Structure 1
Amino acid sequence: MAFKWLLSSLLLSQAEAFYIPGWSVKSYHEGEHIPLMVNKVYSDNTQLQYAYYDLPFVCPPTGRSVGSILSGQSIPLNLGEVLRGDRITTSDIDLALGHDNECSYLCTQQVTRRDLKRAKELVKDGYVVEWIVDNLPGATSFVTVDKSRKYYAAGFKLGFTDYSSATGKPRYYLNNHHTIVIRYRSAPGRAGDNGGKVVVGFEVYTKSVGASTPRGKDNCPLDLKDVEDKFELYIAPNKTTDLHQQYPDSSYYPSIEEGDDNDTIDVPYTYSVYFREDDTIEWNRRWDLYFVNQEEGSKIHWLAIVNSLIICGLLTGITMMILAKTIRTDIKNFKEGTMEDGKLKIKRKAKSGAQTPRVEKQGLGLLEPATDADAIDDISSEDEALEDVTGWKLLHADVFRKPQYGYLLAPLVGSGMQLLFMAVGLILLSAIGVLNPSFRGGFISAGFGLFVFAGAFSGYFSAKVYKTFDGTNHVKNALVTALLFPGLFFGLVFILNLFVWAQASSTAIPFGTLVGIVFLWLCIQVPLVYVGSWYGFVRTGAWEHPTKTTSIPRQVPPQAWYLQSLQSILLAGLIPFAVIFIELLFVFQSMWQDKSGYYYVFGFLSVVSIILIFTIAEVTIVTVYVQLCSENYHWWWQSFAVGGGSAIWIFLYCVWYYFVKLHITGFLSSLLFFAYSFMACCMYGLLTGTIGFLTAYAFVRRIYGAIKAD
């Protein structure tokens, strides 16, 4: 069955992000207006995004009619779009299908010295702009080194940096002319037969045009192909502060910060539009150009799967050896003895013709038939027999002893099941193409919805574990389950949001959205958690253990260094991390470096996730077995921690990635990176810890149930 799932997932990996036919196809006719939306600006060097029309140096919308809509009109957004910082608004740019426009004047924006300084900072940080046409982000076009293939990078540069040949200091330029190229082809099906066209590409080419460039009556540059003067983000200081004029022989180059704040400069904006028919791009494959180096990436993904399969295969062999050989041999040898009240009694056959007095070794409860002549030899034999049955077999009366702080472990397991349901749903929906790039914000929206409605699973499993730990107040457990993890998560997000609000960034979650999230949490999730908890506690009850627990706990002997809690967690967590670290590279690149890009190979991710689940289960089984063999029955929390131990390595990987791969600047951006990374690792740790806990519980029940059966 597992092989069938693996094969199915491999097949799904080839469906790299397709569209559901008939769901999102939009066709246009000749001369029909195509709205151009502006969204936001963002950068790989910072975590702060800004709405495009919030920038003080760009042309604001005039509210004029563009086709059937008005410019400046905000587009309704789903929850995922809001949380990812989108702020989509219709623009004044007029696009009519099939009608080229060599140049159109947009506006002349008067910019103060302070606003120009803001523009300079954004250009310095490498901000790019996101415009949208037919749900496609405007892209910068590139070709491969061998010029055999074209690909897109979503977004286009707000400006660029150059260095003065005289002083070597950086100078910043603004891109104020945009050449828009719309690629289209005949629409598929009946719409194409009726003359409908579909957009298959949206390219934006930028140019910086200085104020001294000759312009015509329409305020457009006379020669856009050969523009020598570029628009520099610089206002000359006034006479009172023009130190360069006072000291002409100096290499001093005044900055824009100097001078009167009331000084202004005019920024002219123009644009060109060209429509090009392109039959080489299928409509349902139009996003492929945004996925850079797909062939090379696929090879690495396959390498990650092979690496994961090798590690998982080795672990499977070790686990099967434990289950099939070691444990079965122990149980078979154990048939000669019985367990009563926590004391082990070995039964041996007496020698032929001899009397059978019993010699008792007090303290261990060891009773052995022996002859008078061989009593001393039999006692020595009893010590050897004791060695054969020590370890995990001696813990039958303590292995199911309820753990300390079980009232916290149960809600954590419940939250982990909630996250597991959400993760499985997201990967499945993405692998079959429902959550594709055209569904902007769909991944976050679907994830949030799955998490909320999975509250019933959270309450059910939390109640089952809680009652297994002899808990009595299921209402209190349900409230802790519903409020603990979501409450801590929401509190941290709210605190971070205060910092982002202060920067007027679109990354900040609007207050109304926060209120809506709280409503979904308290009015939908909490009742679902309670319903699931009631059903799990009242209707189904606790899991029954195969052995009884004595009133007096055994003393745990000293443990080897590698069996100490922290050491075992780190060592065991390293193996699942080795399974996924190659795939993590793609996930991190999509999240932190290619913010405009999209992680799309969910087929590969689903395969790696299945292997990861098996790996975590096997690692936990091996670790718990070794711990029980060392006569340590405190495995409840340990199994949860071992299952989630790879989260520690992932967070350390985040730290390494920050210092080696990223170029994030600013305290707030760094704070957001580490805070979001920490929250993601906590979620991953809860999910994988729950897998480890439930696997270990099933394993322990199985081996001690076999002893009882014998």
Structure 2
Amino acid sequence: MREEQPCKVACRMILDAESAKKFKEKIDDEYRVNMILDNLPVAVPRRRRDADGSPLTIYEHGFRVGFKGNYAGVKEEKYFINNHLSFRVMYHTNLDTDSVRIVGFEVTPNSREYKDWNLNSQLETCNQDTKNVIEGGTGPQEVDTYKEVVFTYDVTFKESDIKWASRWDAYILMNDDQIHWFSIINSLMVVLFLSGMVAKIMMKTLYRDKAKYNQLATQDEAQGEPRWKLVHGDVFRAPKYSGLLSVYVGTGVQLFGTTLVTMIFASLGFLSPSNRGKFITAMVYLWVFMGLFGGYSSARLYKMFKGTEWKKNTLKTSIMFPGILFAVFFVVNVLIWGEKSSAAVPFGTMIVLVCLWFGISVPLVFLGGYLGFKKPVIQDPVKTNKIPRQVPEQAWYMKPVFSILIGGILPFKVVFIELFFSLTSIWLNQFYNIFGFLFIVFVILTITCAEITILLCYFQLCSEDYNWWWRAYLTAGSSAVYLLLYSVYYYLTKLEITKGVSGVLYFGYMLVASYAFFVLTGTIGFYASLWFVRKIYSYER
């Protein structure tokens, strides 16, 4: 600690054909080397300028194994390995105890060829301040068969004013706050606009209609009433595949509770990059224990639909969504196992996940289902006619596909900026810990999904189409379609993935994320519409 190492030799090796081939493959695939010092991951500082020209420093996870490029006027691209690492360790001094603590860990990788290697020549070339190309007679270290590669490093220490409790702040991409605030303000404008429209419907149109309706004496006078009242005898008719809908809604409640609690803990600082792996672990445990609420919600809705096989319904709730996720996850993990990658989840961990699923989650879902089904059935505000009313021909803009896809645009727009930063942190080796912004966006997303679904549900009822149950779920859930399409665009424009397994890994995980987003937003939209419809038709009693 605080003893600088000007130039040290780590090792030397002669590349055989197999080693040279593997290094070239790793360089093509942009592999990175990751190291940890005092629980801090090594980071490569990158300097750039923001929109107003101010200098910025961002950090990337790890350093690249090497790079491809031209050297000494040769047109042919060659492979070069980063065989020299310049470490900089930043520390903070406690003036009371005169002790120091590490608050930063940076590395600058270089490629340096050591010709006729010996101790003296190594000392002369190792410390040159260069970027990937050595001046003064030596060049970058080429990756070739039977080439000798000498791996060297140097370590410097720098005192910093950053306190140990705040040492992660320098790693996290906090320099784009303006973008996040602009996104949030823009989203709030959307929410205010939607809130105004919902308020107009609820406070003006519906209450005025209620007053008029209560004063009407004859049916002839009622003919001029709003058309949504004409379907009051069918609006609470159970939809097709009502059991499946209750399964998805129960799963959505479980997912919503998991996401909400995770966001709260992350915003309060309990979950951060400094606690590696705890974020995912917390989500897994929360998902397991939220099964109680998922089973309860599913059973309550299923009973409202006059369902009787609550055990079968509860079993579907506990298995369908996690089963699909686990299947995709397992297939992707098998492919990663085949590549012998360290990113593969060990088989023992997979067994633990299965045990948590069937040993804790499934019983809790059944407990919640039992409690929910034992509760009195939810009574509809109005009676349902025995004979279904015929739905009139709908205008083109009220067709299910069009209105559903239109409804998903605004929720996706709300999360677009945070989605970009989240994908960047996952796939482009950058840090993300702006959970405060993420929580705000999640709240705005919830409000937006609720309001846009209420509006479109109202327009649907005004067109005398009472089949709103699935439409409400799919309207908000369609935002997942745009998320999946954006992930394809992100893959084509931001990433340089050439290997088949890496592509399967990316799309497998993004498909899982889109599916979860569909279930989450769909459930929010469904419950908002359910509250709205019960509210307006309660006047019909």
What TM-score does the superposition give when structure 1 sets the normalisation length? 0.71
2:469 maps to what in 1? 636
Equivalent position of 1:157 in the other structure: 64
Q: Unaligned 5+ residue runs, structure 2?
A: 129-133
Residue 451 of structure 1: SS of its match in structure 2? helix
Query: 2: CA distance between counterparts of 1:229 and 1:607?
Result: 50
Secondary structure of 1:288's counterpart equals coil
Of residues 383, 387, 403, the one that matches 1:548 is 383
Match status 1:272 vs 2:176: no
Assess, with a 3 A threshold, how the Cα gap between structure 1 residues 660 and 104 changes in structure 2: closer, same or farther. closer
Q: CA RMSD in A?
A: 2.1
Task: Give the letter aligned to residue 280 of structure 2.
Answer: I
Which residue of structure 2 lines up, in the alignment, with residue 224 of structure 1? 126
Q: 1:321 aligns with which of 186, 200, 208?
A: 200
Residues 1:502 and 2:338 are matched in the alignment: yes
Equivalent residue, structure 2, for 1:205: 108
Q: How does 1:291-690 map to 2 (within 5 A)?
A: 291-292=172-173, 294-295=174-175, 297-337=176-216, 347=218, 382=220, 385-389=221-225, 391-538=227-374, 540-593=375-428, 595=429, 597-690=430-523
AA aligned to 1:198 is R
- Residue 695 of structure 1 pairs with residue 531 of structure 2: no
Kept in 2, the 8 Å contact 1:214–1:221? The answer is: no
**1:558 aligns to what SS in structure 2?**
coil
* 3-state SS in 1 of match to 2:78: strand
CA shift, 1:128, in A, is 2.3
Aligned to 2:131: none
Letter paired with 1:177: H
Higher deviation after alignment, 318-327 or 152-161 = 152-161
Question: Structure 1 residue 701: deviation in Å?
Answer: 0.9
Give the match's secondary structure for 1:475: helix
Q: Who is 1:173 aligned against?
A: 80
Partner residue in 2 for 1:103: 7
Q: CA offsets, 1:465-492, max 9 Å, x none?
A: 1111111122111111000100111111
Q: Does 1:285 align with 2:166?
A: yes
Q: Distance in 1 between the 2:465 and 2:409 partners?
A: 22
Give the conservation status (yes or no) of the 8 Å contact 2:253–2:297.
Answer: yes
Indicate how the Cα distance of structure 1 residues 224 and 281 shifts in structure 2: closer, same or farther if over 3 A, else same. same
* 3-state SS of paired residue (2:140): coil
Residue 179 of structure 2 aligns with an amino acid whose one-letter code is I
Write the deviation string for residues 104-128 of structure 1: whole angstroms up to 9, x where unpaired: 3322334321221110121233322
Give the counterpart letter for 1:419 in structure 2: L
| Aligned-partner Cα distance in 2 for 1:148–1:395 | 62
SS in 1 for 2:183: helix
Higher fraction of helix: 2
Deviations 1:387-409 (A, max 9, x none): 41352212222111111111111
CA offset digits 1:342-386 (Å, max 9, x no partner): xxxx52xxxxxxxxxxxxxxxxxx5xxxxxxxxxxxxxxx4xx35
Contact 2:32 2:65 in 1 (8 A): yes
Structure 2 partner of 1:121:
25
Tell me the amino acid that sits aligned with residue 162 of structure 1.
Answer: G
Q: Secondary structure at the match of 2:408?
A: helix
Distance of aligned partners of 1:705 and 1:500 in 2 relative to their CA distance in 1, 3 Å threshold: same
Does the CA contact (< 8 Å) of 1:213 and 1:229 recur in 2?
A: no
Q: Displacement, 1:270?
A: 2.8
Distance 1:150 1:566, change over 3 A: closer
Distance 2:77 2:521 in 1: 49
Q: CA deviation at 1:176?
A: 1.9
How far is 1:705 from its partner? 0.9
User: What's the CA shift for 1:181?
Assistant: 2.2
Q: Which moved more, 1:438-447 or 1:108-117?
A: 108-117
Identity of aligned residues (%): 38
Instruction: After superposition, give the CA deviation of every residue in 1:309-339 in whole Å (9 maximum; x if it has no partner).
Output: 11111111111111112212222221145xx
Amino acid at match of 2:96: D
Distance of 2:348 and 2:196 partners within structure 1: 54
C-alpha distance in structure 2 between counterparts of 1:150 and 1:598, whole Å = 12
Preserved contact between residue 403 and residue 636 of structure 1 (Cα < 8 Å): yes
Cα deviation code 1:116-151 (max 9, x no counterpart): 111012123332211110111112234455796655
- Per-residue displacement from partner, 1:168-189 (whole Å, max 9, x unpaired)? 11111112222322221224xx
Measure how far apart 1:564 and its partner are: 1.4
Q: Aligned residue for 1:68?
A: none
Name the CA distance, whole Å, in 1 between partners of 2:446 and 2:302.
24
Tell me how far apart the structure 1 counterparts of residues 464 and 452 of structure 2 sit (CA, whole Å): 19
Is the CA contact 1:183–1:202 (under 8 Å) kept in the aligned structure 2? yes
For 2:64, give the aligned amino acid: K
**Residue 143 of structure 2 corresponds to which residue in structure 1?**
233
Taking the aligned partners of 1:98 and 1:578, their CA distance within structure 2 comes to 49
Unaligned 5+ segments in structure 1 are 1-96, 236-263, 338-345, 348-365, 367-381
Local SS of the residue matching 2:119: coil
Aligned residues: 530
What TM-score does the superposition give when structure 2 sets the normalisation length? Answer: 0.93
Three-state SS of the structure 2 residue aligned to 1:289 is coil
Distance in structure 2 (CA, Å) of the matches to 1:617 and 1:120: 51
Contact 2:85 2:152 in 1 (8 A): yes
Q: 1:620 to 1:147 in 2, by over 3 A?
A: closer
Give me the whole-angstrom Cα distance separating, in 1, the residues matched to 2:33 and 2:261: 32
Q: Is the 8 A contact 1:214 1:222 kept in 2?
A: no
